[in-house]
Chains A and B, each alone.
Chain A
Amino acid sequence: MPKSIVFHSYKGGTGKTTLAANYAALLARKGFRVFLLDLDVYAPSLQTYFEMEPDRWVNDFLTGDTELNDVIVDLTSIVVGNNYDNSSSTPSSTHTSSANGKLWLGFSNPKKEEIYKLEGGKQEKVQFLRRFIVMREQLFSNFKADYVIVDTSPGIRYWSINALAIADVLYLTLKSGDLDIAGTKKMVSEIYSSFTKFGAKPYLILNKVAGYCVPHPTIQPIEHSSGTLSTSSIVVQQEQEKESSMDSLSRETGISVISAMPCYCDIQFSKKEYLTVLRNPQHLFSKKMEDLTQQSQIQML
């Protein structure tokens, strides 16, 4: 069954865009028809992430200046490119092979006048919102999307609310800092409850969990004189703290933590964004993303 999945957060910098992009790429690699939309209209970044300068933007569709066909950009080649090692890919149960997978993107225009335009007056707002609803419908009916993945603006803003309203699944990403957690709790009670009571499924993704820096000496297994391997006590302690933190977060928000993504320095501090799941499928982050897509598919059944 087609699904729209929205990545959202209370604050910025929680990794929504990285997670959404990698998640979309991974689903395409698994053989699904995936559309990744940049609805972070106030601070779009997917065009930089994918180094694209499209002729037409999502904004143009929303304002009624063009059709959807002109807006979406086929980037399937980067998913099924020759250099890609898909040995670790888990084939989809419903899709025959990764060769069938497709990835399209809809980019949001970063020009300030285009951003202002989407704010619009009441008359324009409802027209844009209606076009957005039509966009989702066309992606599923005309373009036969399996998944529509939406990267939103953080916080409670007009376009992030619109994106959340069309979601079947809500991924609320947060870091483990108290500011993020407090804001997320507030948002869950004030915003998400309105959507979940009409069937949307919300999940928390605890991202950038500290203590897993790569390389980090304590993350390596310790080889004992007997030849056996064990994990350092620091790592064990971190794992325990993570589990405890996930449990408490779930209890306090009433929403399951579907994944806890460690903070990887090579991703966090990379000068250039890239799709880790494609470039380095063996990376721990890729494994975590793989787990997340599998978990998601189970949850969506």
Chain B
Amino acid sequence: MEINNNKNNYRISSNSQIESDNDEDLMVQIPGIFDLTGKNNIPPSLFLLVGSAGTGKSMYCRQFIMDGILRSDYCIYISPSMTEKKFRSLFPKLEAVVLNRSSKFINPYLRIDTRNIAKDSNDTADDQGKLKLTLAEIHEILVNQKREYDQNNSSIHGHLENSKIKDLSSSSSNKSISIRVVVDSLTQFFVLFGESAVLKFIGELSLILKEFEASAIFTLTGNITSPNSLTNAVSSMVDGILEMRIEEGKDASLARSIRMVSINGIHHKPAWIQFNITDDGSLVFGDQSTISSNCTMCGKPIRGTPLFDSEFPFDSIMCMETYRKLTALYGSNISETGLPAQVVNINFFFIDIVGLSNPSLSVKKQIDKIEILNKLIGLCDAFAKSKEKKIVLPTGDGMAIGFFMNPESSLQLAIQLHSKLSIYNRGKSDGEILGVRIGLGSGPVFIVNDINGNQNVWGPGIILARRVMDIGDNLHILLSSNMAESLIALKDEYKMMLKPIGDYQIKHGQTLRIYSAYSQEFGNSEPPAKMVSQH
């Protein structure tokens, strides 16, 4: 898990979940955006990237895709001359599962027309068929991504029905998924497919991408200052033009630079911005030797050594003090200004009552069960006598309890609650038995205030615990791998009670490694039904 705070809008990313910061509108970043435009982000746009061979266009596209994957955008890379293996080799530091989940590589020239889109046998018709097939495939990917995203969103919001955190989550319900597309390069497209077919392809692709509010970069080898008819034609279909050049530096090194020639509706001063390609393929803009990150307060790239307050970098004392002043004033509401709030790592205990929504159960009995659960939790020492800071978030049919310090607290609470439940459930009829499932997980969350001014949290930590709980059945105490492994490392007794029970794939192909806590006195030694059915 990493905190990706060198981006301007501060997203917490993890293997499992990358959450946005509740942006109200879809905005994107392209590499070097601040240097190119003086802005931190721009609306989704289609760009033509023009430059001579060797200027770094493909590496710019690579950075664009890399940034997108780290921000959990969905990325499509289209190249008629690259293989999938070559594409994957561009991202050696990304795990295959992450790359698979967040990106798709398409080589239109290698498409096989299984659907007989092009029925003519001559080459031209076949090539056109490949382009049509590519368009159809892209459209299908985008539709599926949007559907999955919407389903995922509604699932999360549905679960938080009636909960305090619903208010927080609802603000992001109208967001769209961010899509990034690279077409690299049009020059090769023209050679392989012919000018008219490719221009038609670009025109149709542009419409699809605009429909899905995607951002895209089309690369073209050439010179914008002496454009040919092809450059002019492509330029008319995009929102902006980027240009790259390469010159020999004073020390015989190659100096690369880029400028934003034009972009619809955004005021900026076109200026050449130097950039460097590092050994690992990353692009560094401006005074490349000294830029380390962006200032949390003013958003500008920091040249030289940044100042730090907590984990946030600043480029001047003035910026740091301004942030401190605003934090002192807004407190945990600082995120309402769009500035990042302090992030804390919390250990979560997420519980819900099994079968509470059973239609045969009267509302009165449902309420009784909720009240009993609340009382039983209140009787557990791990909750009642613990002096560490904690936060309780009712979720309607259960609750989430976040412990700020001790990872053992949430497990101890689960064990103690099971003990009390076993006593309570003795002699009860099926309808009266109080069944619960528990998910334990830890991770970073933002501290925020809800509309009533109550302290609340939101972030991957709580989402992870909920997802772990969702896998379980009655009496399961399931743990995320990060929490289980840190407990096992802590005390030998946990080695005995925490058992790895396998991987479970949730949406977007994301896999969670699950542990189950059980013994003769607590937990459920059976594997969860969902895991059984998946395997």
Contacts and interface: CB of A to CB of B under 8 A. Distances in A.
A127 B40 contact: yes
Interface of B is mostly: loop
Contacts of A288: none
A165 B325 contact: yes
Given A165-B322, A165-B325, A126 B27 contact: no
A168 to B, nearest CB: 9
B297 A130 contact: yes
B267 A66 contact: yes
B146 interface: no
B261 to A, nearest CB: 18
A122 B38 CA distance: 19
Contacts of A200: 325
A123 B27 contact: yes
A241 interface: no
B316 A129 contact: no
Interface residues of B, number: 33
Given A122-B22, A195-B325, A64 B338 contact: no
B325 A194 contact: yes
B319 A133 contact: yes
B325 A133 contact: no
Contacts of B326: 161, 165
Interface string B459-490: 00000000000000000000000000000000
Contact of B39 (A64, A121, A133): A64
A67 interface: yes
Nearest to A63: B267
A191 interface: yes
B205 to A, nearest CB: 27
Interface string B337-356: 11100000000000000000
Contacts of B27: 123
B532 interface: no
Interface centre among A66, A124, A129, A200 (most CB of B within 10 A): A129
B148 interface: no
A127 B297 contact: no
Contacts of B38: 64
Interface residues of A, number: 29
Contact of B23 (A64, A66, A122): A122
B210 interface: no
Given A64-B38, A195-B329, A125 B321 contact: no
Nearest to B300: A134
Given A67-B269, A133-B319, A165-B322, A126 B337 contact: yes
Given A130-B40, A137-B298, A194 B328 contact: yes
A271 interface: no
Interface in B25-44: 25, 27, 37-41
Interface in A182-206: 191, 194-195, 197-200
Contacts of A125: 337-338
A127 B39 contact: yes
Given A133-B322, A137-B298, A194 B329 contact: yes
Contact of B329 (A136, A137, A191): A191
B447 to A, nearest CB: 17
A35 to B, nearest CB: 16
Contacts of A195: 325, 328-329
Nearest to B26: A123
B267 A64 contact: yes
Interface in A124-179: 124-127, 129-130, 133-134, 136-137, 158, 161, 164-166
A123 B338 contact: yes
A55 interface: no
Contact of A198 (B297, B319, B325): B325
A65 interface: yes
A164 B324 CA distance: 12
B299 interface: yes
A199 B40 CA distance: 29
A130 B329 CA distance: 17
Interface in B285-311: 297-300
Contacts of A191: 329
A191 B328 CA distance: 9
B24 interface: yes
A122 B338 contact: yes
A141 to B, nearest CB: 10
A166 B322 contact: yes
Interface in B15-63: 21-25, 27, 37-41
B299 A198 contact: no
Contacts of A65: 267
18 contacts: A64-B37, A64-B267, A65-B267, A122-B21, A122-B22, A122-B336, A125-B338, A126-B40, A127-B40, A127-B41, A129-B338, A130-B297, A133-B322, A165-B326, A166-B318, A194-B325, A195-B328, A198-B324
Interface of A: 64-67, 121-127, 129-130, 133-134, 136-137, 158, 161, 164-166, 191, 194-195, 197-200
Interface of B: 9, 21-25, 27, 37-41, 266-267, 269, 297-300, 316, 318-319, 321-322, 324-326, 328-329, 336-339
Given A125-B337, A130-B297, 15 more contacts: A64-B38, A65-B267, A121-B25, A122-B21, A123-B27, A127-B39, A127-B41, A127-B338, A133-B318, A158-B337, A161-B329, A165-B326, A166-B318, A194-B325, A198-B328
